[in-house]
Amino acid sequence: MATIEEILLTAEQYGELPDPGYPTELVRGRIVRMNVPYFEHGKYCGRIDRTFGRYVDDHDLGHVLTNDSGVITERGPDTVRGPDVSFYSYSRVPKDAKVRGYPAVAPEVVFEVRSPYDRWSKLLEKVSEYLNAGVLAVYVVDPQVETVTMFDADQPGQTLHADDELTFPEPLSQFRIPIGSLFHW
């Protein structure tokens, strides 16, 4: 009896597909359907984008992306994740670059906002992928408990609370965000 092999997509093939009308990610060559985020999720993503993006723009440091703009985290088979907010310095993606498709490099910083239905095991899998792809720092913002868990390649996650400050790698090392300001405004 003949078998049919499943065809795994590359990041480039995935990026060329027509919009299916719902959010997806590519995970090890397979398309995975995702839920449309809730109102609160968008509110926190917007807050991060405005706070973080303003600093980046004021200091002309790079590109801040939102709306699940794709990041290739694995090759062979390919995985494309959509972080809630990401930052690419001009040293990774030049200021005047015209990027078609997904950048060949990973961003320095990624924010993921935890939704009520997100499982920590799946979030930690994404965090690991981001770090292995070359992201310097991943921040998981959890509105339910008003914390931010900060990950980098050199240490396990560090959970920060309202009285703590969020710090960043170069070229953002002078920037700080009070954790409480992400949840109360």
What single-letter amino acid sits at 28? R
Asked whether the whole model's pTM tops 0.85, one would answer: yes
Span between the terminal Cα atoms of the chain, in Å: 64
* Mean pLDDT estimate for the chain: 94
Q: Measure the CA–CA gap between 138 and 112, rounded to whole angstroms.
A: 8
Quick one: average pLDDT of 86-100? 96
pLDDT digits (tens, 9 = 90+) for 20-70: 999 999 999 999 999 888 999 999 999 999 999 999 999 999 999 999 999
Range of the domain at 157: 37-183
pLDDT in tens, 136-159: 999 999 999 999 999 998 888 999
Q: Is residue 150 part of a domain?
A: yes
CATH number of the domain bearing residue 114: 3.90.1570.10
Beta bridge partners of 163: none
The closest alpha carbon to 114, from 126, 104, 105, belongs to 126
Q: Is 61 part of a structural domain of the chain?
A: yes
Tally the domains of the chain. 1
User: Residue 10 falls within a domain, yes or no?
Assistant: no
Residue 134 corresponds to which tokens in the numbers above?
A: 């070359």
- Asked if residue 31 is part of any domain, the answer here is no
Beta bridge partners of 142: 147
Q: Does 6 have pLDDT greater than 80?
A: no
In a domain, 57, yes or no: yes
Does 30 reside within a domain?
no
Q: Where are the beta strands (DSSP E) in the chain?
A: 24-27, 30-33, 62-66, 71-74, 79-81, 85-89, 109-113, 137-142, 147-152, 155-160, 165-166, 177-178
Q: Is residue 5 part of a domain?
A: no
Q: Residue 153's pLDDT is what?
A: 87
Structure token digits, residue 179: 């954790």
On whether residue 11 sits in a domain, the answer given is no
